[in-house]
Amino acid sequence: MPRVKVARKSTAIDMTAMCDVAFLLLTFFILTAKPKIDDPSHATVPFSTYMIPVADANMITIAIGKGAGRDAPFFAVSEQDVRREALTAMGQKYGVSFNAAEQQRFSVTPIFGVPMSQLKSFLDTEPAQLKNFVQTGIPVDTTNNSELFNWIFVSRQAEVGLHQKLLNVSIKSDAAELYPMVNEVISVLAKQKLFKFDLITQMKTASDK
């Protein structure tokens, strides 16, 4: 009797489909990936059940977190041209002139927290050394002429001038921040007749605890 011959099969698997899927997913993740902004305020936002997504454009974000040792506000505006315009306007107000390189640096700085007196040296610092630059936060008080007040004001002016739009304001504060600091920022906004704004939170479900 002849032996039954078992056909020798190749051990190679067709990977075409797997490869297709892998690259499809890869493309998806690359396109949806957003570079993480290095936030100097290190604010850990509290939880809430609100589900309104935070807008990406036309936003002023006031982050409140630990500046160097004390709680301090940080300022961020989403549009690059608005940043540039706001810097020029602030420079005129406080008598500081910025050269083209500094303006360029400022327009690509997503968030900062330095007083006007230190802003020039902040913008002159090499990007690699920026981590060591101690950001003390933007000075804020109850008057109508604090630096935070003016930053918000000139940014809103610039936005209206450049895009004929109104900027939305959101507050991104650290969960452990005490109320007086938050209240101070809210009253700065109220002085500019800004009564509607967003508080940035993380999502959780209502059934907690």
> Could you tell me which stretch among 29-37, 73-81, 87-95, 101-109 binds another protein (CB under 8 A)?
29-37
User: 60 to 99, contacts with another protein by CB under 8 A?
Assistant: 64
Rounded Cα distance between 196 and 172, Å, is 14
> If binding is defined by CB under 8 A, does position 37 make contact with another protein?
no
**Shortest distance in whole angstroms from residue 98 CB to another protein:** 31
**DSSP, residue by residue, 6-44:** PPPPP-----HHHHHHHHHHHHHHHHH--PPP--TT---
Residue in the block written with tokens 């400022």? 106
Count the residues of the shown chain that bind another protein, applying the rule CB under 8 A.
58
Site string for another protein, 183-202 (x = CB under 8 A): x--x--xx--x-xxxxxxxx
State phi, psi for 86 to the nearest 5 degrees: -65, -35
Beta strand pairing call for 59-66 and 47-48: unpaired
Query: How many Cβ atoms sit within 10 Å of the Cβ of residue 97?
Result: 9
Q: Which of 1, 5, 30, 150 is close enough to bind another protein by CB under 8 A?
A: 30
Applying CB under 8 A, the residues found at the interface with another protein are 8, 10-12, 15-16, 18-19, 22-23, 25-26, 29-30, 32-34, 36, 45-54, 64, 170, 172-180, 182-183, 186, 189-190, 193, 195-203, 206-209
